A = this chain, B = another copy of it.
């Protein structure tokens, strides 16, 4: 790992934090409360980790005004310690910085526009009419298809593929293996034979979007597949053709959105959530892990499906009974009727 050092005072200035402790204390890294060692800055964001505060070995801790009470060690007092930690994390990021200019092995079409401040890695291929704006990094082995565009300060890891007519906003981060603009899954069935429908739309990605490793976003059949500003996508996610994802929504690993579905703003889909096609999910919806979303959601809130884990021997019994559920429900109803009848007749007989 590379190493950098800041003083506690420098970090306080950067955050606008209230400093408690020596301003010249050197900080060489960040760590959790349990793992922090001398020279490292830690933070307390989740109340369940408060128990680790007393005995921590960190040089100083990012704390809220409430949590700093009763704590005697060095601290940076901030309104939102987790957010402050996020801001400082970039100072200690060992990711190599890319240099402006194109590697001599890059194959760049004559009519592509590549800003002089962009960094184009080895073996990159940039096709006709593509545009790479100022401050963009295009990692090794990336492929930028015809007429595709990457706006200012984007960062593409090695081996990202953009097909043709993919437009990407500012400050977008795209990880290795991502595929933007592959064909949507569109076929017309002709007496049992699938006939391909050319996917002639594109992909439109907003500003400040992050896309995780090996995620795929297909091009539209007609019109674009659209990802809003500030959307965060984890790894191995599948976004089908003509999906629309609203601003500042987030999806964890393995989520999958079928064709033409629309997701609102500020939604969160946990890992492996799946949506069927042609449905709408409104703003501010949270969906728990591995849920199958089979219909539109019109009310904000949290949604789930599936069953809870059991030891397999018990689960097999539950699963067998699940198949009998309708029968059980009918028998239950019948019992209620019969019991009501018995109770009445019983009352009759006792009244008699």
Contact = CB atoms under 8 A, between A and B. Distances in A.
11 contacts: A31-B222, A93-B200, A122-B125, A159-B159, A177-B177, A183-B210, A185-B234, A212-B218, A235-B240, A294-B308, A307-B307
Q: Size range of the interface on A?
A: 35 or more
Given A214-B179, A222-B31, A321-B329, A308 B305 contact: yes
A236 interface: yes
Identical copies in the complex: 3
A65 interface: no
A338 B346 contact: no
Interface in A185-217: 185-188, 190, 192-200, 202, 210, 212-214, 216
A238 B254 contact: yes
Interface stretch (A5-13, A19-27, A110-118, A266-274): A266-274
A339 B336 contact: no
A107 interface: yes
A202 B92 CA distance: 13
A303 B349 CA distance: 51
Nearest to A292: B290
- List the 5 closest A-B pairs by CB distance, nearest first: A317-B326, A93-B198, A89-B198, A304-B315, A302-B312
A213 B141 CA distance: 17
Given A190-B80, A292-B290, A322-B318, A94 B164 contact: yes
Given A307-B322, A325-B321, A331-B336, A96 B195 contact: no
Given A308-B320, A325-B322, A177 B175 contact: no
A159 B145 contact: no
Contacts of A194: 210, 230, 232, 248, 250
B35 A223 contact: yes
A200 B322 contact: no
Interface string A257-277: 010000000100001101010
Contacts of A121: 125
Given A121-B125, A216-B236, A218-B235, 14 more contacts: A35-B222, A85-B197, A95-B198, A96-B145, A158-B161, A216-B235, A235-B240, A238-B271, A256-B272, A302-B313, A307-B322, A321-B328, A322-B325, A328-B332
B232 A187 contact: yes
A83 interface: yes
A165 B313 CA distance: 43
Interface string A134-152: 0000011101011100000
B252 A1 contact: no
Contacts of A282: none
A307 B305 contact: yes
A188 B158 contact: no
